[in-house]
Chain A
C-alpha cells in the first residue's frame, strides 16, 4: 500500500479535528447575572446618541416619502447591514472616519427628505446600507463588561427598528400638503444637525 504525503496530512488533520471534538469539559452550574441589563442597555443605547436617532428617523421618513416597496426595503436593509458593520467592529476590523460617516449620513438623509429625492430603489438601498455600516460599527459594539452580547444586540436592533418605525409613522403625514411641507422641514432640520455633527467630528 502506497503512502501519499497528502493522505498522511489528511490523517493528521482529521485526528486533530476528532481530538478537539471529543475534548470533554465539565458542566459548570452558575448564577446568571447582568443578562436583562444587557437587553436594557442595548434598548437604551440608540436613544442616547442624537446622531443615531436622527439618522434612523430620517430613514423611516424617507421610506414613507418614497412609498412601497422602499417603505419596507430600507428598514429591512438597515439592521442587517448595520449588524455587518457591528460585526466588523467586533472582529476588530477598523473603519476610518466613523463619526464623519455618521454625520454625513444625517446630512445626506436629511437632504433626501428635504428634497423628496426619489432615486432608483437600489441606489436608495445601497446608500442606506452604506451608512448603516458606520452606525453599526460605532454603536453596535459598545457593550458594558459583564453583560450578554446577544441580549445587548437584541435590544440594540429592536430599538433601531423602533426608531425606523417612528420615522415611518411621522412620514404618514406625507399624504397631506401641509404634512409634505412639515416633512421637508424635518429633513432640513436633520441635515442642519448633520452639519453640526460633522463640525464636531472634524474639530
Chain B
C-alpha cells in the first residue's frame, strides 16, 4: 500500500514538474528585420537574442578551454545541430513557457567555471543537445519570418562565432586569462539561475 502511495506521489510530482517545464506559452515572436533579406534577419535574431547568444558563446568558451579536438568538434556539430533543431522547430507550434534555455546557461556555465574536463564524446553530445534545443526555439520564432533561410544564416553565424571564440580561448596562454574565462562562466550560470527566478516571478 505504502509503495503504491509513494509511487503515486512520485508520478504526481513528476507530472507537475513536467507540466510546469513544458507548459506551452504564446510563441511571441519578436523578429529582427534588417532589410537585407532572411539570412541576415536570422543572424540579427541570434545576435539580439541573449537567451540564444549567451549559451552559444558559452559552448564556444568551453570548447576553447578544452582544447583543439573539442573545439573542432564544436565548430562543426554545434551549428549543424542548431540547424536540425531549427528545422524541427519550424514544424512545431508551441514553446514551453518555462525558460528551458536556463538549463544550458547553468550547465555550460558551471562546466566553464569549474573547468571540468569532460571526455570529448560527452562534450560533443552536450554541444549537440544544446544546439538542437536552442535551434528548436529559433525555428519556432523564425517560422513567421525568415524561416529556413534565417536558420541557415544563424548556422553560418554560429560557425564563425564558435571558430573565433574557441580559437581565441585556445590561444590564451597566461593563467589569468583562463581564470577570466572561468569567471565569465560563473556569470553565465548565475544568469541561468536568475532566469528561472524571473520565470516564477512572472517577469522573464
Contacts and interface: CB of A to CB of B under 8 A. Distances in A.
Given A30-B28, A91-B197, A72 B179 contact: yes
B4 A5 contact: yes
* Most chain A CB inside 10 Å of its own CB: which residue of B7, B8, B183: B183
Interface in B38-69: 50-51, 54
A53 B200 CA distance: 28
Please give me the 10 A-B residue pairs with the lowest Cβ-Cβ distance, nearest first: A149-B198, A90-B197, A83-B190, A153-B194, A87-B197, A83-B193, A13-B15, A27-B27, A79-B190, A72-B179
B193 A16 contact: no
Given A76-B186, A82-B190, A140-B197, 19 more contacts: A13-B12, A17-B19, A20-B19, A20-B22, A20-B24, A21-B23, A24-B93, A26-B27, A27-B26, A27-B28, A29-B29, A75-B186, A83-B193, A90-B197, A91-B200, A140-B194, A141-B201, A149-B204, A153-B195
Contact of B198 (A30, A153, A158): A153
A9 interface: yes
A157 B191 contact: yes
Size range of the chain A interface in the assembly: 35 or more
B117 interface: no
Contacts of B143: 27
A48 to B, nearest CB: 19
A interface, over-half SS: helix
Interface of A: 4-6, 9-10, 13-14, 16-17, 20-32, 71-72, 75-77, 79-80, 82-84, 86-87, 89-91, 140-141, 143, 149-151, 153-154, 157-158, 161, 164
Contacts, number: 142
Nearest to B114: A76
A80 B143 CA distance: 35
Nearest to B22: A21
B59 to A, nearest CB: 17
B141 to A, nearest CB: 9
A77 B12 CA distance: 35
A30 B31 CA distance: 9
A6 B11 CA distance: 10
B194 A150 contact: yes
B170 to A, nearest CB: 19
